[in-house]
Amino acid sequence: MLWKIKTGEKNLFITFDDGPEPEVTPEVLDILAQFQAKATFFMVGENVQRYPEIVQRIIAEGHSIGNHTYNHLNGVKVPDFTYFKNVQKAAEIIDSKLFRPPYGRIRTRQIAELKKSYRIVLWSVLSGDFDLKISPEKCLNNVLRHSKSGSIIVFHDSLKAKERMLPALRGTLAHFSKKGFRFRAIQYGGE
C-alpha cells in the first residue's frame, strides 16, 4: 500500500475523499486552480452518479480520480464478498486503478485481493478536517507540522468537513507554494 511517494523534488500529494459534492468540490477546484495545483479525488460511486458534471470537470482540469467504494463502506464491518461487490459497482462508473478504503479500514484479505487490480493509496498526513471538534487553524497546523516532500495529505470534499477544510487547503497551498513545493496528482504507475 502507498503511504507516501518517494520523490527527489519538493512535491506534495493532496487528496480528497468522499466527493464529489456540489456545494464543496467546485470551490476546491477553484482554489487548486489559483495555485496551479493538481490533486487526487477518491470518489464515492453514488456521488459520481449524482454529479457526473463535477467528475468531468475534475478530469478536464488534470486531476486524478480514484475509487472510494460505491457507498463509503467500512471494510472491517462487512463481509469480504459485500465489500468487493461494492468496490466493483463503483469501478463501473469510476475509471481508475487507484483505490482508497473508506476510514482507512481494510482487512488483510481485502488488501490481497484488491492489490491485484488497484494501487491502494493511504496517507502520511491526516488533516483532521472531518473532526467537528477541531478548528480550521488546528486542521491547517496538522498539515503544516507533518507534511514534507512526498507526503500524501488527506482532506475531504464533503459538507461535514467544508468549514475546516477550505481554510486549511488555502493555507496549505499558500504556505508550501512559498517554499517552492509543487502539488501533484497521484498516478497509477508512479507520481
**Grid coordinates of 108:** 488483510
Which of 63, 68, 156, 157 is an active site residue? 156
- Please list the residues that pair with 125 across neighbouring strands: 153
How big is the CA angle at 39 (ends 178 and 175), to the nearest 5 degrees? Answer: 20
Active site residue: 17, 18, 129, 157, which one?
17
The torsion angles phi and psi of 73, rounded to 5 degrees, stand at -80, 140
Report the C-alpha gap between 136 and 171 in whole angstroms: 10
> 109, 80 in Cβ contact below 8 A?
yes
The answer to whether residue 17 is catalytic is: yes
What are the strands, taking DSSP E only, across the chain? 11-17, 40-43, 64-67, 98-99, 119-120, 125-126, 152-156, 182-183
Task: Give the whole-angstrom CA distance, residue 152 versus residue 143.
Answer: 10
Is 156 part of the annotated catalytic residue set?
yes
Q: Known catalytic residues?
A: 17, 156
